[in-house]
Amino acid sequence: MDLSTTARRSSVAVFWPIIGRLLPFVLIAAMVLVTPVPALAAPRTHYVEIEASQFAFQPGRIRIHQGDTLVITLSASDVVHGFYLEGYGISQRVEPGVSQQITITADRRGKFRYRCSVSCGALHPFMIGELIVGPNVPFWRAVGATIVALSGLLVHFRYKQNST
């Protein structure tokens, strides 16, 4: 056996055990990232000011996650408007100069339209906005993958320490 073969052998001998030790963690991390998990709550509270005017809500789109709390301060800048949130059955009338507070616990996932519920003029039917309640999965996947990666490193360095 010549020298270069020996060198190659030993580098392979060092390389494979490391792969062998880390592979389970790589696989677990991949599983954590891919496996669907039920949405878990990491609740946040969002404060949003919605201004209703002929014939739109500002903002017209709100994105939150399941489990979050949404606190809306609703105001009307011209005439009397209404805020009706489909799927949550929330309805609130708002008069100019008197803002209203609406608190919503986002327990249902999906897209929910909010519309004006007080006939406020010609284009009243088009006064529509959208609340998007997304799943909480990405956050927990990131947490899971981080934990697995850290334990992998820990085991790796533990082994290195013991072998020297």
Complex with Cu ion: residue 74 or 148, whichever CB lies closer = 74
Task: Mark 117-156 with x for binding to Cu ion (rule: CB under 5 A) and - for no binding.
Answer: ---x------x-----------------------------
Complex with Cu ion: residue 76 or 106, whichever CB lies closer = 76
Task: Mark 67-96 with x for binding to Cu ion (rule: CB under 5 A) and - for no binding.
Answer: --------------x---------------
65 lies in the site for Cu ion, by CB under 5 A: no
Torsion of CA 121, 126, 127, 132, to 10 degrees: 170
The secondary structure element, H or E, covering residue 77 is none
Instruction: Give the residue, chosen from 62, 70, 116, 148, that forms a contact with Cu ion under the rule CB under 5 A.
Output: 116
Query: 47: buried, middle or exposed (CB in 10 Å: 19+, 13-18, 0-12)?
Result: exposed
Closest CA to 77 of 105, 50, 97: 97
**Distance from C-alpha of 22 to C-alpha of 30, rounded to nearest angstrom:** 12
List residues binding Cu ion (CB under 5 A). Answer: 81, 116, 120, 127
